[in-house]
Structure 1
């Protein structure tokens, strides 16, 4: 009998305000999946009724789908998903407030999760395509609650719990009510309580007849607060004292046997050291890990649920997992933006077998075991502080490591990158996958300060669009009607950006790559003062200053600068004006330049009396404007910069004879 992970929700939950996804009828072509769903429902949701229509959709490898739901209090539900054959490994999880309460991550394509809630609560279902891509259907069923034990049995368990509390939580009082439930072997009940800061808590549980071994653990987000210290049908998490209010998830697991259990929280006022609570964005890290693992652990299955944690700079953590002879393993890590350099070291039975010490925040290590043993993974925060997640995967050696011809799309991708930015080189191995019509794929990329990057996509059909954003700000996009979108962006400071690919008008294979773009594309010289006391390009030596120097050498070498470099930043279709004081009786040339993400910038010069003296409307990012006629009046002239296409920083300087 396949294990079903039960999630029972107790107490107050902090939940996300997610819009409920409207139920959709299975699309044409999913009749086979719908029939399979009905078959599984008869097995895992016996006696239940469908809640609304089955949902359907498609997922690319590494993609996930989130569905918001409201669970009614006092009811139980079973969620069943079925993927088509090409979607080889489909996972299903239940989350509330970013906290993962339960999941089915078995390496198959028909995950099942059961949930019982004594109170009405908002949750999210998370469907993840761990391996493969294709269509799926998702069913939601209301099922009868588990039968409760007789009152006499429960009274005996309560008495047993009180005796355990007298031994393990002397001086503490019962917080709220005891929770009563039933578990089958290997079943998990995830109970959530909102605990107050400044108090100390002890968690206790006792099992009835048939429960040979009960186990407890407690966590706040990714932070582990305590583990069971007892063996047998009684369980206890030693006292812990949170410094601040926190939603705490308690997992009650039937390790051996099954039957009734009672769980309770005992608390007292804190008198000693308090434990700081560091919440981690598990929802974001789970998404990043799925995207990274789709490439770094292709063809492998999750060995266990992801491990989350939080580290300060220079600190480390470790985790262990068993290895079997003849199998290969890979550890994949991702971080929140606060950690900019994370290292991994992998040891098997005390001997180091691999490490990733590259200066990045997405390390990967792996090994193939020749004998059974225990692996230990050390996680080091080399630079920065924040949350992290590690996924352990097992199976055959990842496809990327096999001696196979490179994806032909990668060659086309390299060509497109070179056309976008001459001399561009790969910053990492490109990503690849399949997208349906109107499908999207997102990647998070951390950029280093002072470096320029080319983001390039390619598809073998349809119309592929690319957008780069940071938070709510769109940094750049390419929505041309083609299959090779590209954007160049120069990072002024270290930042993590999100790249979104959208495929229109067809289903197709795609590839996406990040490239190092040369920061300077023309030979330049250092700033040198001129007869006017002003250096060409100003005193800076950045991309804009060097471009102005190169253009001056090519187009206006006989002219001297009469203004400093004026600078600004514009998004596409924006414009701005500058005021420059110019004397009459001279002719002027304005040289402007933008960073590589600027694709077309126009310049207009207007006299103090509103007369337009010169306009440059050529399609380029480095306009050179020559006054005609030459100004006849001294005064404040206005120079207008218009960002016709592209975005980013720019500068201009005025020259004269």
Structure 2
């Protein structure tokens, strides 16, 4: 399918407009250690502290980091990279990762700057990030899948030089650099011993899962949690395998929640029923790192977390996973400010600007809060809210001056986002509703400053495509000159369509599908013959994408389904350029 020169220029221009001026991530989320590879019991290794605290110039800190990592038997992936970034600049570096190896990725910027680091796996999912307001972000992880990972670097404040250095070790555990960078080590919750009553419920659960060909993985992890306290467990899931994760409340705990989410915090599965025990099941579309979020939502006491893997058909029992499914240690859940900071940084990275100041609120279950917002016709906007650990589900609804609903987000999570391109200037009302739970939230509105039309692409369709194009460009993906920007229409919710494409061996692709007005959630999958090779089904996204590195030339099928809403869509095939991503 050969593209016309006009269509290719159209998509390239969208990318240029979206990236103009660089990205504008601002605030910070606490750095995290994402572990999930060949990790022995005991979790991450604390390094540094005492005399081993980073100090001096960026180059001096790099040399201290090198000595520290080599003492842990880590070696450099390659030579350290030296670069410079202007205010709001963004660049990316590729890291070829091997499965079962652990990696430490750190960056050392000029004093007084604020540099952000986001690590993406080959599927484009964030598996770790550090966007604290400092000059030395870092991420440590153990790889659940091999392939080309991308480290996205953003200069959130200031300008100047930086050094970037990834290290790896085979089959050990991730290093925790908190002490090396001068931070304290927070004490975790008390370990809980399983009681007789919970043991009986666990035995019954084991029997129930066994009847569905699931086998328990190891012993339950028990922690004493306060009311609304959360813990995060790193997961390594294998393509084509189904898993189940459960929480069981011990004495004093009356209600537990469990969520399975990707590295960006997007919920893939959730159980928020008002029960003492909770469970989610998930069949992994590909190998990757995920996060299990466990929450005590009622009372105070032990919460036991247990994992199951379903045996492969034809096997007598479930085979031993190549890498451990669930980490033996957990980290604290992010607070409200941190969750908002991550979303705020993401919106700025996509090219949005703040529309006024963010606002805070508190709602009980079933409560609503309205915010007046003046929107200009012919412009596009994004509005989001994010709740604290007491919020299970919030919704957003945008209404015009007559009270008619213009747009809504009812994704069933605690971080709804609505995008809208009103045709007429006027006063609108954004209604935040607490569907389930109770607690605090942050509300913020953003303006898209870079135009809303190019050719016959306009409004939501144009802006959504511009957002995803901007992010892909940074990773080194450009519209493939062998394919056109194509269109389709799903006339009703639940309808599906297919498109046949021929991919070239030795090339990595990202296939992007973008829904227009009326489309709230699209599912997309890529198949070769009867084999599904990539899927974004269940991600609750109106502009999803899938990635695949073709080993040989072949014919593939792109399947698009309207999971929620209906309307027009476009799809574009991007191919990844070798080497470093795009610097802005």
TM-score, normalisation: structure 2:
0.39
RCO (CA 8 Å, sep 6+): is it higher in 1 or 2?
2
Structure 1 length-normalised TM? 0.35
